[in-house]
Amino acid sequence: MENIDNTAAESAPEGFFRIALGVEYKGSRYRGWQRQATSVPSVQQTLEDALSTVADSPVVLHCAGRTDAGVHACGQVVHFDTRAVRSMKGWTMGANINLPHDISVAWAQEMPAHFHARFKAVARRYRYVIYNDQIRPAHLGQEVTWNHRPLDVERMSLAAEYLLGVHDFSAFRAGQCQAKSPVKNIHHLRVTRHGKMIVIDIRASAFLHHMVRNIAGVLMTIGAGERPVEWAREVLESRDRRTAAPTAHPFGLYLVQVEYQDEFVLPQRYIGPHFLTGYESLAADDPQAIC
């Protein structure tokens, strides 16, 4: 999910404004968030180019979470420093005019000089969306993960309980994960069905690389009846990636919310993705969720 960033959590230089943005994007045609050394498309580079046009000077972005290739976001938070004087509407509308259809800036806000999109975040929330039907969907094909096997949400929910709290998630991390510690704290992990859609909703202070997709792979295997509910605990306790299920497809994964310390008040929007708005039960037991 996230790679380690060695950049210091430094304040904006004197004479610069620190601007935060809320960003949405469809990750299907990008090689992830992070700017690449080669010419392959990335969300960061595309957004930096658009903002640099608005600022009439180079813009470098820092994000709350580096999403992988094919992964989406409807609650990404980024920041940049600039000397350019623009209204917040100017940053938002100016960026959107210069962006392709699959990236959108939802809001802009000037922040204190010591705000940092990544290092000041206290929690991140993802949703993994599964389309559960025998027939492959013609629509949303790159925005949901299709699973043709009938999935038992109750079994998936029971299995998810084993993963709550503070654990060593070595069995759920990618081999190339650069995190210093595999120990993470999952605050909530819920599985709900909404017609043919199944949503895995997970919130933690931080995530390992591929952690959510590996959790989704285990829960779908259990939901399909291929493994017992207790297998989730066995995988967790093994601390061995080889004991778990294959990594789930990236298209169903969304970064939906980033939370910050109380001193930083950012604009709040509904928690996506957009096609799930209206499912009030997704947020019924979470006062911070806006649907």
- Selected residue with higher pLDDT from 254 and 179: 254
State the amino acid at position 13 in one-letter form: P
**pLDDT at residue 176 tops 90:** no
pLDDT of residue 9: 57
Token reading at 35: 């700017």
Q: What is the CA radius of gyration of the chain?
A: 19
Round the average pLDDT of the chain to a whole number and report it.
91
pLDDT above 70: residue 2: no
What lies within 8 Å, CB to CB, of 211 at 6+ separation is 1, 169, 172, 173, 184
The confidence band for 284, taking pLDDT boundaries of 50, 70 and 90, is very low
Annotated catalytic residues are 68
Report the percent of the chain where pLDDT is more than 70: 92
The alpha carbon of 245 is separated from its chain's Cα centroid by a whole number of angstroms, namely 21
Query: What is the distance between the alpha carbons of residues 113 and 81, in angstroms, rounded to a whole number?
Result: 9
* Model confidence pLDDT, tens digit, residues 40-86: 999 999 999 999 999 999 999 999 999 999 999 999 999 999 999 99
Q: What is the mean pLDDT of residues 207-220?
A: 96
Q: Which amino acid is at 259?
A: E
Residue range 77-126, pLDDT digits in tens: 999 999 999 999 999 999 999 999 999 999 999 999 999 999 999 999 99
Give the confidence band of 8 by pLDDT, cuts at 50, 70, 90. very low
The token pair at 241 is: 């990636």
- Angstrom distance (rounded) from CA 15 to CA 176: 39
Q: How far apart are CA 260 and CA 266, in angstroms?
A: 8
pLDDT at 93: 97
Which pLDDT does position 282 carry in this prediction? 62
The one-letter amino acid code at 123 reads: A
Q: Which of the two residues, 232 and 9, has the higher pLDDT score?
A: 232
31: how many CB neighbours lie within 10 A of its CB? 17
pTM of the complete model? 0.91
Mean pLDDT, range 190-211, rounded to an integer: 95
- Strand, coil or helix: what is 15? coil
Please give the biggest Cα pair distance in the chain: 60
Q: Nearest 10 degrees: CA dihedral of 274, 278, 279, 283?
A: 90
User: pLDDT at residue 143 above 70?
Assistant: yes
CA distance 244 to 241: 6
Q: What are phi and psi of 23, to 5 degrees?
A: -130, 140
Per residue in 156-165, pLDDT tens?
999 999 999 9
Tell me the domains of the chain and their CATH numbers: 17-119 (3.30.70.580), 121-254 (3.30.70.660)
